Amino acid sequence: MSVYPIDLKRVSLDHMGGTKSYHFILAMNAKGQSILIRRWGKVKSEGQYRFEKFADRANAERAFGKAMDERERKGYAVVSQSETFAADKDSNMTAFGRMVWAKLPGDVVNFLDPAIDVTGRKAAPVNTMDEDFNRLPEQPRGMTYTSEQIAAAEEERKAEIERQKQSKYSANPNFGRF
């Protein structure tokens, strides 16, 4: 069974003060797996992202509604709503939007469609706060590489070391005389 179409529900909210915005994207595939993407920050800035995965539509829609209600209680008002879909894997970037698609971590993309190659995509963002809301030290973010890419990089590194050795030996006129 195909995971397409992937239905997307978008809602954008602006704060009554006019300086902050909050955006929700609820993406649901044909199997019912869903992700909730939250993006927030200053108006007209990229802001920060948070990704949540849900195994079924009901929990995802419940979390979406709860998050919307919470934002509206905090002084945000809906400025736009839209619904669209991705018919196949080639239309994902258009449906999600170029900026959001580029920010989706590999594990989130694979959750919606396991057939998409996520080589080179960044891993999911690391939590910056603990349970008590104390800031955690910065963790380096890794890239996702296949075993073939790792092996090729190792071979290239070894070949470069061998080339450097050969150039050192050939540059030494006394090499091999003793």
- CA 164: distance to chain centroid? 39
Across 15-19, 83-87, 163-167, the highest mean pLDDT is recorded for 83-87
Q: Long-range pairs for 147-150 at CB < 8 Å and ≥24 separation?
A: 149/119
Q: Tell me, what's the pLDDT at 155?
A: 94
Express each pLDDT in 75-110 by its tens digit. 999 999 999 999 998 999 999 999 899 889 988 998
126 falls in which pLDDT band (50, 70, 90)? low
Q: Tell me, what's the pLDDT at 178?
A: 65
Which region among 4-8, 11-15, 148-152 has the lowest average model confidence (pLDDT)? 148-152
131 falls in which pLDDT band (50, 70, 90)? very low
Half-sphere exposure of 98 (CA within 13 A, CB side): 0
Angstrom distance (rounded) from CA 176 to CA 178: 6
Looking at per-residue pLDDT, the higher value among 177 and 48 belongs to 48
Hey, how many other C-beta atoms are within 10 angstroms of the C-beta on 121? 19
Q: Decide: helix, strand or coil at residue 162.
A: helix
Dihedral over alpha carbons 133, 135, 140, 142 (to 10 degrees):
10
The pTM for the full model equals 0.68
Q: Write out the two tokens for 33.
A: 């797996």
